[in-house]
């Protein structure tokens, strides 16, 4: 059975303006690979309801899971929850379960649960809350869309509580070798090898060291013995 597929939607003007560098995509990519879920596509859009809504519809329709990051705080530019609800045809309002989480948090920390903060209790009907152990305001899962916070520590904590609830596939394994030759010298033999191992995927990723071009060749697949055989062939082809 093929592995489940996933997409990611990063929401935030600050990424597209270059003010902030996103780190959630890289974290999600590593965690999904470990879980045997294939991340097929990632997108970054601005804090714009039309752009978010269109991407949520398209990506949730095309993949088994969609993970979003950002736009669920208390300020006027936080529109993710409302936009996801609209895209999936659900109503949204302050929900008692989410409100109770915030009330308990602010009672404990001494903050005030004002109108702005209460917006973080707006949760679509039918959604399941995702625990936020850091600042209480929950994420949620609605259908196959997992709506997580943008602050990296909170994103990572929310993901850690969602991932064990999903059914993954066979973990994709990979092995890599560094080859201290330019990609142009290894491309021909590598293509032939890839043809002989159609069940594996071969990637070549160039890098520079001391001014010389080198390549990491990565072989991926779900059969350990086949991976071993392909990597042995690589070592034979490119000894050093």
12, 70 Cβ separation under 8 angstroms: yes
- C-alpha 216/C-alpha 38 separation (Å) is 21
Kindly state whether residue 219 participates in binding a second copy, applying the rule CB under 8 A: no
Rg (CA), the chain: 22
Binding mask 162-201 vs a second copy (x if CB under 8 A, - otherwise)? ----------x-x-------xxxxxxx-xx--x------x
Kindly state whether residue 232 participates in binding a second copy, applying the rule CB under 8 A: no
Kindly state whether residue 32 participates in binding a second copy, applying the rule CB under 8 A: yes
Kindly state whether residue 44 participates in binding a second copy, applying the rule CB under 8 A: yes
Tokens, residue 129: 């809350």
Distance from the Cα of residue 27 to its chain's centroid: 7
Taking every pair of Cα atoms in the chain, the longest distance, rounded to a whole number of angstroms, is 67
Identity of the residue, 19 or 89, whose beta carbon is nearer to a second copy in the bound complex: 19
Position of tokens 């530019």? Answer: 77
- Which among 124-132, 140-148, 157-165, 214-222 is the span making contact with a second copy, rule CB under 8 A? 214-222
Kindly state whether residue 116 participates in binding a second copy, applying the rule CB under 8 A: yes
Kindly state whether residue 46 participates in binding a second copy, applying the rule CB under 8 A: yes
Kindly state whether residue 47 participates in binding a second copy, applying the rule CB under 8 A: yes
Positions touching a second copy (CB under 8 A) are 13-22, 25-33, 39-47, 51, 73-77, 111-112, 114-117, 119-120, 135, 151, 153, 172, 174, 182-188, 190-191, 194, 201-208, 213, 215, 218, 220
């Amino acid at each position: 059975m093929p592995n489940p597929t996933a997409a990611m939607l990063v929401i935030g003007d600050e990424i597209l303006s270059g003010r902030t560098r996103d780190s959630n995509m890289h974290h999600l990519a590593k965690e999904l690979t470990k879980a045997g879920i294939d991340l097929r596509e990632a997108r970054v859009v601005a804090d714009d309801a039309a752009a978010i809504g269109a991407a949520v519809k398209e990506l949730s329709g095309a993949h088994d899971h969609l993970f979003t990051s950002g736009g669920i705080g208390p300020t006027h530019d936080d529109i993710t929850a409302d936009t996801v609800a609209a895209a999936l045809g659900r109503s949204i309002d302050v929900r008692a379960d989410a409100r109770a989480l915030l009330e308990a948090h602010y009672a404990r920390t001494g903050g005030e649960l004002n109108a702005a903060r209460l917006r973080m209790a707006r949760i679509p009907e039918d959604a399941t809350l995702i625990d936020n152990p850091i600042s209480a305001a929950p994420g949620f899962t609605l259908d196959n869309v997992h709506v997580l916070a943008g602050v990296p520590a909170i994103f990572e904590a929310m993901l850690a509580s969602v991932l064990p609830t999903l059914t993954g596939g066979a973990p994709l394994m990979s092995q890599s070798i560094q080859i201290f030759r330019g990609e142009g010298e290894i491309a021909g033999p590598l293509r032939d090898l890839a043809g002989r191992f159609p069940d594996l995927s071969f990637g070549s990723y160039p890098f520079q060291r001391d001014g010389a071009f080198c390549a990491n060749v990565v072989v991926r697949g779900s059969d350990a013995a086949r991976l071993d055989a392909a990597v042995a062939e690589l070592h034979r082809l490119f000894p050093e």
